[in-house]
Amino acid sequence: MDEIKSPSFKPLYQQVKELMVLRLTDRSWAPGSILPSEALLAAEFGVSQGTVRKALDELTSENLLRRSQGRGTFVTEHTANRSLFHFLNMVDQNNEKQIPESHLVSIASGLATESEAIDLGLIESMNVIRIQRNRSLEGIPVITEEIVVSSNRTPGLENYPLPLPNTLYQLYEKDFGFSVTSAREWLTAVSANQQQAQHLNVEVGAPLLCVKRIAYTYNAQPVELRISLCHTANHSYLSELT
Amino acid sequence: MDEIKSPSFKPLYQQVKELMVLRLTDRSWAPGSILPSEALLAAEFGVSQGTVRKALDELTSENLLRRSQGRGTFVTEHTANRSLFHFLNMVDQNNEKQIPESHLVSIASGLATESEAIDLGLIESMNVIRIQRNRSLEGIPVITEEIVVSSNRTPGLENYPLPLPNTLYQLYEKDFGFSVTSAREWLTAVSANQQQAQHLNVEVGAPLLCVKRIAYTYNAQPVELRISLCHTANHSYLSELT
DNA sequence: GAGTGGTCTAGACCACGAA
DNA sequence: TCGTGGTCTAGACCACTCT
């Protein structure tokens, strides 16, 4: 009999990595908590320490884990800093990120539109929660945005005690048990309509940067849709190409 | 005597990596060429194969090298594909990148403005070459842009036989001996002026996406400034956050 | 000093590509 | 069949953090 010629070879460290992602997904490794040491993990998974290390290193480079020499390996969590800085690309004219303030305009639940259902991977016209808010940088209104999440993922969010926290991703993680781990953004230029112009204190028809974001949790599941309109007179969106 | 307590400890693989970047910079490893095998490099640098591998892996993740199992390790070069796809983030409504056509408007040399000199790391008012061109996707004019490079880096470019190639980064690499390895882009929304409106076949005052790019070669040296105005009715700028 | 992650080594074996 | 990069192991030692 011929031996099997690796019809679907998958390296050990990738299998280990997948098991680790499972633990992150089901929260047996919760955000902010510390993992067992490399040696313990190696013993537990029955592989060498080098193999565990390769899996951990990949998860670290994907920002799912954070390692610190002498202290240990931790599950990345949405601290205020991470939410505000890692997932907000607006910089001022010195290329520095500022801390935004948020002002809630409205929050309500309703049926998902067809395009929202597609973007969020929902079936038909399920219920969603919509949040409108404005954000200021250094006291000046710069962003007006609408946020859409499935009611299934955030039950009761529309009745959450106000004010909502500035950093929604922290809220999702702490109160609703899912973590945003990556996102894609589509940028276009649009003209301000009357409502946007009012929120941003510009004239109707002024050019605005429109940022449509879909945020994903582990394994690229979409969890949030966000459309932000940004006034770019004194700020710009910074993108690094490598 | 106390021993030195590692006042500036630098791992071996990083030292090896720096030596490798030197070879890339001085082109003793030229774009597109193949590197010696891991075993040979290990012998040459006097370190283990694992250490060489770690240096090579980092350079690969920075897109300076490309590795291929069974074939070897190669210096990344600016093929048409890399220039057009890796450094052009405009996608159509199906999230697909299209091949752009370029139409030269003008090319001339002149003195750098103060802001150009700052962006390109030049001293005072050195000479630069400015290229204006329009780019179409699927036959529709979508981008009008100005490109600025130091005359020192591209001597005689203003008299280059026309038409200029579609992919300038290939030209820089092949004819002027420097490679673009990374870039930063700042995005804002602006209103079309008369000239832009004409090039893009839109009305004066229409919103346009303004992309200011600084492109860098090895070791983060700035080499090119580019300001692109994009008509985003049917295309958008895609940015991935991880 | 004990425990953690980070570096470095040497060697075995596997998957892949090309001749 | 050979040479390449890719995986996996076992073990030694180093740098860092905390107690």
**What's the whole-number mean pLDDT along residues A41-48?**
97
DSSP states of B34-88 as a string? BPPPHHHHHHHHTS-HHHHHHHHHHHHHTTSEEEETTTEEEE----HHIIIIIT-
Q: What is the pLDDT of residues B166-178, one digit of tens each?
A: 899 999 999 999 9
What single-letter DSSP state applies at residue A34? B
Closest C-alpha to B150, from B182, B184, B125: B125
In terms of Cα–Cα distance, which of B152, B187, B183 is closest to B169?
A: B183
Measure the CA–CA gap between B11 and B21, rounded to whole angstroms.
16
Q: Residue B83 has what pLDDT?
A: 83
Indicate if the pLDDT at residue A5 is higher than 60. no
**Mean pLDDT confidence for A28-37:** 97
Order the strands of the A236-241 sheet from edge to edge.
A90-91, A236-241, B182-191, B207-217, B221-230, B140-150, B127-137, B100-111
What percent of chain B has a predicted confidence (pLDDT) above 90?
89
Report the candidate in B91, B84, B99, B206 with the shortest Cα–Cα distance to residue A186: B91
Counted residue by residue, chain B has a size of 242
What is the per-residue pLDDT for B27?
96
């179409």: which residue's tokens? B136
B212: chain A residues, CB-CB within 8 Å: 236
| pLDDT, average across residues B213-221 | 95
pTM: 0.94
Size of interface A-B (CB pairs under 8 A): 101
Q: pLDDT tens for residues A158-214?
A: 999 989 998 999 999 999 999 999 999 999 999 999 999 999 999 999 999 999 999
The pLDDT value given to residue B1: 34
Residues 18-47 of A with CB under 7 A from strand C: 35, 37-40
A84 vs A232, more confident? A232
Q: Which chain A residues contact residue B237 at CB under 8 A?
A: 186-188, 239
Residue A141's identity, in one-letter code, is: P
Q: Which pLDDT does position B5 carry in this prediction? A: 44
What pLDDT score does B116 carry?
A: 96
pLDDT of residue B180: 96
Residue B226, pLDDT above cutoff 60: yes
Tell me which nucleotides of strand C come within 7 A of a protein CB: 3-11, 14-18
Q: Which of residues 83-102 of B touch A (CB under 8 A)?
A: 86-87, 89, 91
Phi then psi for residue B221, to 5 deg, are -85, 125
Predicted local distance difference test score (pLDDT) of residue A7: 56
Q: What percent of chain A has pLDDT over 90?
A: 89
Mean pLDDT over B18-36 rounds to: 97
Amino acid present at B14: Q
**Parallel, antiparallel, or unpaired for β A221-230 and A182-191?**
unpaired
Backbone phi and psi for residue B72, each to the nearest 5 degrees, phi listed first: 150, -170
| Minimum-distance nucleotide, CA of A68 to C1' | C5
- Token reading at A127: 């219920």
Q: How far apart are CA B17 and CA B56, in angstroms?
A: 7
- Cα gap A237→A14, rounded to integer Å: 35
**Residues B110-163: tens digit of each pLDDT:** 999 999 999 999 987 799 999 999 999 999 999 999 999 999 999 999 999 989
Tell me how close the Cα of A159 comes to any Cα of chain B, in angstroms: 30
Give the pLDDT mean for B232-240: 97
- Token pair of A231 as six digits: 């006034």
- In Å, how far is B207's CA from the nearest CA of chain A? 5
Cβ within 7 Å of strand C: which of B 37-56?
47-51, 54
DSSP letter at A83? I
The b/e string for B183-220 (b: 16+ C-beta within 10 A; e otherwise) is bbbbbbbbbbeeebbebbebeeebbbbbbebbbbbbee
Best to test chain A binding among B69, B87, B90, B187 (most A CBs inside 10 Å): B187
Find the mean pLDDT for residues A11-35: 97
> Over chain A, what is the mean pLDDT?
94
CA distance A179 to chain B (A): 13
- End-to-end CA, chain B: 49
CA B200 vs CA A176, B96, B187, B196: distances in Å = 47, 21, 18, 6
Phi, psi values for residue A102, rounded to 5°: -115, 140
Q: Using a CB-CB distance cutoff of 8 angstroms, which residues of chain A are in contact with residue B185?
A: 238-241
Q: Which of B182, B208, B232 sits opposite A241 (nearest CB)?
A: B182
φ/ψ of A29, rounded to 5, equals: -110, 100
DSSP string, B135-165: EEETTEEEEEEEEEEETTTSTTGGGPPSSPP
pLDDT (tens digit per residue) in A118-171: 999 998 779 999 999 999 999 999 999 999 999 999 999 999 998 999 899 999
Q: What share of chain B is helix, strand, coil (3-state, %, to 5)?
A: 30, 35, 35
Summarize pLDDT for B40-93 with one digit per residue, the tens: 999 999 999 999 999 999 999 999 999 999 999 999 999 888 888 899 999 999
Mean of the per-residue pLDDT values of chain B? 94
Interface touch A189/B182, C-beta < 8 Å: no
Q: For chain A, how are helix, strand and coil distributed in percent, rounded to 5?
A: 30, 35, 35
Polymer length in residues for chain A = 242
Q: Does the CB of A11 sit below 7 A from strand C? A: no
Q: Which residue has the tokens 């090298």?
A: B65
Q: Is B163 exposed, middle or buried (0-12, 13-18, 19+ CB in 10 A)?
A: exposed
Q: In this complex, is the C-beta atom of A214 within 8 Å of any C-beta atom belonging to chain B?
A: no
Mean pLDDT, range A216-226, rounded to an integer: 95
Instruction: Give the separation between CA A117 and CA B12, rounded to whole angstroms.
Output: 52
The C1' atom of D16 and the CA atom of A69 lie apart, in whole Å, by 6
Identify any residues that bridge with A146 across adjacent strands, giving them in sequence order: A132, A227
State pLDDT tens for residues A61-92. Answer: 999 999 999 999 999 999 888 888 899 999 99
The pair of structure tokens assigned to A8 is: 């679907």
What does the alpha-carbon distance between residue A138 and residue A148 come to, in Å, rounded to a whole number? Answer: 26
User: In this structure, what token pair is assigned to residue A104?
Assistant: 């809630």
